[in-house]
């Protein structure tokens, strides 16, 4: 199994997973045209996506969900509470209901949704299993619980939220109500909280840790990596920050073979995130894709016309 982060942060979130002979998207927090551009960097087309997993209904996770699922005709897996929340803006097409704790088969991949304490109705995170390896995708947690810790402990690769540095948030420019919301038990994990989650869940079989949903205002990659280093030092695991503005390359989920104590954690440089995937040559859509392009344009137009004023 392999995966790539298309983007992670308050400006948009999406992750693509390939395994079990299929391609699945986790969240669609970018417009379809931007999703297409980022998928192209991985030599993928929108039409390669067979299903959409939705963590929750905030716009940075579902901005392109309605147009994408509607035009492609693929199912959108989300909780019933998320579907109702999104219905206010007509966000989800082809809804397939899921329940926290109930494992399901999604296009050949085994997917376990787990409830999170985030301030969006029906919010979940996911553990994805191809029968050999497991990937945990856990951001927008509010606060972690024992169930999430246990689930991540069984993974080989994890994407975990380290959203903000507590002091940067306290002294930063956000209004007080937003600071309270972010720091609350229904908001986002701080570096310290995310590191504590990693410390509880870490296992020798982990091979890769990505730090996700970093705030560009209230955090830095250097601070997030330092927090992760403090709890993962000595583990033979690759650690890096997931980027906001470009996709990563493909990252392999592999089972780590414990090889003794004292191994150094392999971290990106203190100020780095994972580099962008190699630029792909822009391809003119083949005739069989032109109908899809037209549908996406129609859905995008309809969405913009019906969007509620903020």
pTM of the model: 0.85
Is the per-residue pLDDT at 246 higher than 80?
yes
The per-residue pLDDT for range 67-102, each reduced to its tens digit, is 899 889 999 999 999 999 999 876 688 999 999 999
Cα separation, 41 vs 13, in Å, equals 16
Question: Higher pLDDT residue, 185 or 275?
Answer: 185
Topology of the domain covering 2-306: Metallo-beta-lactamase; Chain A (3.60.15)
User: Residue 235: pLDDT band by 50, 70, 90 thresholds?
Assistant: confident
pLDDT of 257-307, one tens digit each? 655 443 445 544 434 456 665 443 223 333 334 444 444 444 444 444 334
Q: Are 74 and 49 in contact (CB under 8 A)?
A: yes
Please work out, in degrees rounded to the nearest 5, the angle formed at the alpha carbon of residue 123 by the alpha carbons of 118 and 128.
Answer: 120
Domain boundaries, the chain: 2-306
Which residues neighbour 244 within 8 Å (Cβ) at sequence distance 6 or greater? 7, 8, 9, 11, 12, 214, 216
Instruction: Give the pLDDT score at 299.
Output: 41
pLDDT band (50, 70, 90) for residue 252: very high
What is the torsional sign of CA 275, 259, 234, 144? positive
Per-residue pLDDT of 190-220, as tens digits, reads 999 999 999 999 999 999 999 999 999 999 9
The helix/strand/coil state of 141 is: coil
């Amino acid at each position: 199994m392999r995966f790539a982060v298309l983007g992670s942060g308050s400006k948009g979130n999406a992750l693509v997973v390939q395994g079990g002979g299929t391609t699945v998207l986790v969240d669609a927090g970018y417009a379809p045209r931007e999703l297409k551009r980022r998928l192209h960097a991985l030599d993928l087309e929108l039409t390669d996506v067979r299903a959409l997993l939705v963590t929750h209904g905030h716009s940075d996770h579902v901005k392109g969900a309605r147009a994408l699922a509607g035009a492609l005709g693929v199912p959108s897996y989300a909780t019933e509470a998320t579907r109702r929340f999104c219905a206010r803006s007509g966000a989800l097409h082809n809804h397939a209901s899921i329940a926290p704790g109930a494992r399901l088969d999604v296009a050949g991949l085994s997917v376990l949704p787990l409830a999170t304490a985030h301030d969006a109705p029906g919010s979940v995170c996911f553990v994805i299993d191809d029968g050999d390896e497991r990937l945990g995708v856990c951001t927008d947690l509010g606060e972690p619980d024992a169930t999430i810790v246990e689930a991540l402990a069984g993974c080989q690769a994890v994407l975990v939220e380290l959203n903000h540095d507590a002091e940067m948030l306290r002294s930063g420019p956000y209004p007080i109500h937003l600071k309270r919301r972010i720091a609350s038990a229904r908001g986002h994990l701080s570096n310290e909280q995310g590191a504590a989650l990693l410390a509880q869940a870490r296992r020798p079989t982990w091979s890769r840790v990505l730090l996700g949903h970093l705030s560009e205002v209230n955090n830095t990659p250097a601070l997030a990596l330092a927090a992760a280093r403090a709890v993962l030092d000595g583990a033979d695991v690759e650690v890096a920050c997931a980027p906001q503005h470009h996709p990563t390359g493909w990252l392999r989920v592999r089972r780590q073979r414990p090889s003794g104590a004292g191994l150094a954690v392999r971290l990106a440089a203190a100020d780095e995130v994972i580099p962008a995937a190699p630029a792909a040559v822009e391809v003119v859509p083949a005739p069989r894709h032109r109908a899809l392009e037209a549908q996406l344009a129609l859905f995008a137009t309809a969405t913009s016309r019906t969007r509620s004023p903020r």
